[in-house]
A = this chain, B = another copy of it.
């Protein structure tokens, strides 16, 4: 297919491109989603509406774990296995660092060197930071585009800082928690609430000297999981050990995810979970609409910087500032 790279592609160009698996048009559409421009978002919305009938057919896997747990190497090993079995894989990220200082977790494709070179793998760095929130919403839309482009296994990765795991959990079918064994347990420990969300736990770096500690941790976590109330899914979370370096345990995790899928598709929970996620998705869509309408309004755009500075300097209160901006918005919306 040929199109002009310098101009914006049309809705139909994007839709056809995505459905035919064109990576460049897929990327460009994701860029439209992540854009700060209202017109770009509008265009993205139209594209998504058209590709909707072709979505939903992937296994959506959420992967989380603290920095240092070996997420990139795990995803690389896991991804190579999955792609090697004939699947098309895409790796997306939710990066909550927008509100904190800190680097993007997928900013560098070289992190997953061999996987990123595979034509059946699509790795997308995390979306641009925005103070307007909506990162999760944009990730969901990106997921839909990937599904329409034929990716049937989608990994959504997050760095563990609390908010993001919850957001990821709300958009995946299977939630995998990566944990380190041994030294530093106190520090890297994951809270009960996060463990409770996990459908599977993988103890990483289970090799060499670490092997024993990993086995012990496996037993300990498996015991701990028994203490949780039975999950609605009828599935009991499993703990496995793995080593991305030695390429062990990776196959077991993929099998685990497939077993899970089989079980909960049978008992109806798979669809039930997705339906529930869709309601959250609807609310996010509304939020996104409201925020975009507000912060892209010319009158707000021209005032926001000044007012923010005044709040920062303590010249006006947060409440007065919010009132001032909402009043401007109300008047301008009424009077055009």
Binding site for B on A (CB under 8 A): 45, 48-49, 52, 66-67, 99, 131, 160-163, 165-166, 185-195, 217, 220-221, 224, 271, 274-276, 278-279, 281-287, 289-291, 294, 307-308, 311-314, 317-323, 325-326, 333
- Report chain B residues within 8 Å CB of A314: 271, 274-275, 278
B161 touches A163 (CB 8 A): no
- Report chain B residues within 8 Å CB of A289: 322, 326
- Report chain B residues within 8 Å CB of A290: 290-291, 294
B187 touches A319 (CB 8 A): no
Among all A-B residue pairs, the 5 with the closest Cβ atoms: A189-B189, A285-B322, A162-B162, A281-B318, A278-B318
A319 touches B190 (CB 8 A): no
A131 touches B319 (CB 8 A): no
- The answer to whether residues A318 and B282 also contact, given A162-B165, A162-B166, A189-B187 and a CB cut-off of 8 A, is yes
* A278 vs B321: C-alpha distance when bound (angstroms): 10
Contacts A163-B163, A279-B318 aside, 19 further interface pairs with beta carbons under 8 A come to: A49-B320, A52-B317, A67-B192, A162-B165, A185-B189, A187-B192, A188-B192, A190-B191, A275-B313, A278-B318, A279-B308, A281-B319, A281-B322, A282-B322, A285-B318, A285-B319, A286-B325, A286-B326, A289-B326
Measured CB to CB, the closest approach of chain B to A81, in angstroms, equals 28
Copies of the chain in the assembly? 2
Main secondary structure of the interface of A (DSSP, over half): helix
Measured CB to CB, the closest approach of chain B to A70, in angstroms, equals 15
* A318 vs B280: C-alpha distance when bound (angstroms): 8
**Contact among B291, B318, B319 with A287 in the assembled complex (CB-CB below 8 Å):** B291
- Report chain B residues within 8 Å CB of A220: 186
A194 touches B162 (CB 8 A): yes
- Report chain B residues within 8 Å CB of A193: 160-162
Residue from A48, A52, A192, A326 whose CB has the most chain B CB atoms within 10 Å: A192
22 pairs, CB–CB < 8 Å, chain A vs chain B: A45-B319, A49-B323, A52-B320, A66-B192, A162-B165, A163-B163, A186-B220, A186-B221, A187-B189, A188-B189, A190-B191, A275-B313, A278-B311, A278-B317, A278-B321, A279-B308, A282-B318, A282-B325, A286-B326, A287-B291, A289-B326, A290-B290
- Report chain B residues within 8 Å CB of A131: 283
Measured CB to CB, the closest approach of chain B to A115, in angstroms, equals 27
A312 touches B279 (CB 8 A): yes
Measured CB to CB, the closest approach of chain B to A164, in angstroms, equals 9
Measured CB to CB, the closest approach of chain B to A307, in angstroms, equals 8
Residue of B nearest to A170 (CB): B99
